[in-house]
Amino acid sequence: MVIPGPASLKLGRRIADLLEVKTVPVEFKRFPDGESYIRFDGDVENEDVVIVQTTSPPQDERLIQLFIMADNAKDQKAKSITLVVPYLAYGRQDKRFRSGEAFSFKTLVALLDACGVNRIITVNSHNPRILKTSRIHIDDLSAIHLLAKYFKKKGFDGAFSLSLGKKALNIAMQANEVLKGGYGCISTHRNRITGKVALERENLSVANRNVIIFDDIISSGGTMIKAVELTKAEGAEKVFAACVHPLLVGNSKEGILKSGADEIVGTDCVPSSVGVVSVAPLIAEALAGRGV
């Protein structure tokens, strides 16, 4: 049975509909001091339970709700607990970059482990390599082909697929499998103290081409804004910003459009105004044992 958490009500219900399984509603309210109240409105004893809860901002609040739901399922003797966390927060704090720094992702997994979680399904985690170090089995699905198919359907078959950061070249490659217009990536360097990102000018053959820039996350929008500007400066025709997790903090959406992007397209991994591509079929397939 599927338990749609307060942060992913729509997505949770969509997944349950596709799997044709029962949902257990969560009675949720916030106490006057801001703490979360959670109650399952149904019996989960001896059930294989799937809790769907994304952890985009406000991530700390959504994480606490996730811990409470998982631990509650354990207390109520669920047979197994699978978490669907499309956006897994703290994925970018995946090592100690500076001495004394917290390895927050490790802490997060240890807490979920203590809550009795058996399996986690996530989508385009920032660093798939650290998932292998997790005590809990984590399936990392990719929604890039779904984003690429959206553009293909809109008539942008043959567009150039661009990704950001050398380690993310596989993102552009996956998109190119659908769009078949060639691919490349722009190197990025983030200053660990200021958080500012710099992009390296590359020789990209994008002049007079439609370009789709794919990234796993748009957070402050700083990286995408620079990428759009650079691509436009190289003479690209139409430029689209596509991402799996459109966190779109502050006025990043306006900033990206102002920099010259024709559209921002995201998935429903996190609630946002640009989430036009649903990952529900991808997750339902994985849960049914067909997609992983």
Which residues bind to ligand R5P, rule: CB under 6 A?
164-165, 197, 215-224
Please state the closest distance from residue 268 (CB atom) to ligand R5P, in A.
19
Contact 56, 87 (CB under 8 A): yes
Minimum CB–partner distance for residue 148 and ligand R5P (Å): 17
Q: What is the DSSP letter of 136?
A: S
Alpha-carbon distances of 5 from 54, 95, 237, rounded to whole Å: 8, 29, 41
Instruction: Pick the closer one to ligand R5P by CB: 15 or 143.
Output: 143
Identify the three-state secondary structure at position 145.
Answer: helix
Give the chain's count of helices (H) and strands (E). 9, 15
Close Cβ partners of 85 (under 8 Å, ≥ 6 residues apart): 53, 54, 55, 66, 120, 121, 122
Task: Between 82 and 125, name the residue whose CB sits nearer to ligand R5P.
Answer: 125
φ/ψ of residue 139, rounded to 5: -95, 125
Residue type, 92: R
Residues 257, 241: Cα–Cα separation, whole Å? 9
Q: Of the two residues 1 and 131, which places its CB atom closer to ligand R5P in the complex? A: 131
Shortest reach from residue 94's CB to ligand R5P, in Å = 10
Bridge-based pairing of strands 197-199 and 211-218 is unpaired
**CA pair distance 184, 161, nearest whole angstrom:** 7
Quote the least distance from Cβ 10 to ligand R5P, whole Å.
24
Q: In whole angstroms, how close is the CB of 26 to ligand R5P at the nearest point? A: 30
Task: Identify which of residues 23 and 223 has a Cβ nearer to ligand R5P in the complex.
Answer: 223
Q: How far is the CB of 237 from ligand R5P (least distance, A)?
A: 23
Q: What does the DSSP 8-state code read for residue 102?
A: -
Burial call 200-218: b when 16+ CB within 10 Å, e when fewer: eeeebebeebbbbbbbbbb
Separation of alpha carbons 221 and 50, rounded Å? 32
Based on CB atoms, which residue is closest to ligand R5P, 179 or 218? 218
Closer Cβ to ligand R5P, 81 or 242, answer by number: 242
Cα Rg, the chain, nearest whole Å:
20
**DSSP H helical ranges for 140-247:** 144-153, 169-179, 222-233
Shortest Å distance, C-beta 50 to ligand R5P: 27
Token pair belonging to 291: 């997609």
Cβ at position 189, least distance to ligand R5P in Å: 10
